[in-house]
Amino acid sequence: MKDYLSKLQTIAWRTSGARYNAYRRLKRREFFSTLSLAIFSAASAAIAFVQKVYAQPNSAMDRYFTAASVCIGVVLLAISLIEWGSANGAKAENLFANAELLNEFHRKVELFLVRLNVEGSLSWAEVEGLNGEYEAIKSRCNNNHEPIDDLVFLAQKRRAPEFKYLKLEGLKIAGYYFYWYFISFSYFAVLWLVLSFSLVYPFVKWG
């Protein structure tokens, strides 16, 4: 029974840790989404100014800036709709709240383990009740964490006795962290590169 409770406690800890990481990842993505909208909005205003000052009417540069301005407007609309539909901020808060509940459950199981050590026994009904409570808490969250969130948690707690058997180290840990950070802003980074190129290109081509 003690082994079962210890395993349940570890599972709850691991799930809560993964959901905390999912919260961090989604909040980071939300930040980069907001930053990208600000950058593209500023770029749109800058293009209008540069077009007015530097481009001759009906010239190739003028037509290029007009097309670029339209494209930026479309990208702004697309990012807004995608991020609004994703609702990453709401998902993050939901996962954080669920992780907090799982943390409380983790501490509750710890008390049951102490009681088991003192009294020597627990009823199976109490143990089954704990298992049902864990499943109920987990199911309250409509959003689940991603596997990478769990892998990063295992990397963070690799020295804990519960996870030493995984023998996580070196490049594997670095890979987990890199991917966990990279997926937060990967497609935004591509958009920033395209935007940078599109702003520099006309000055290189036409001076």
Task: Identify the CA nearest to 15 among candidates 174, 157, 184.
Answer: 157
Neighbour-count burial of 106, counting CB atoms closer than 10 A to its CB (0-12 exposed, 13-18 middle, 19+ buried)? buried
- Supply the pLDDT for residue 207: 64
pLDDT tens per residue across span 65-90: 999 999 999 999 998 998 888 889 99
Q: Which residue did the predictor score with more confidence, 44 or 205? A: 44
Residue 40 has pLDDT above 70, yes or no: yes
pLDDT, the chain, mean: 91
* Cα–Cα distances in angstroms (integers) from residue 179 to residues 25, 94, 113, 148, 162, in the given order: 11, 23, 37, 8, 24
Indicate the helix (H) or strand (E) that contains 152: helix 147-156
Q: Give the DSSP letter of residue 120.
A: S
In terms of Cβ atoms closer than 10 Å to its own Cβ (0-12, 13-18, 19+), residue 114 is: exposed
Q: 32 with 185: CB under 8 angstroms?
A: yes
Task: Name the percent of the chain lying above pLDDT 70.
Answer: 100
Q: Can you tell me the mean pLDDT for 146-166?
A: 93
Does 32 have pLDDT greater than 70?
yes
Indicate if the pLDDT at residue 107 is higher than 90.
yes
DSSP string, 51-103: HHHHSPTTSHHHHHHHHHHHHHHHHHHHHHHHHHHHTHHHHHHHHHHHHHHHH
CB neighbour class for 96 (10 Å; exposed up to 12, middle 13-18, buried from 19) = middle
User: Tens of pLDDT along 120-136?
Assistant: 778 888 888 999 999 99
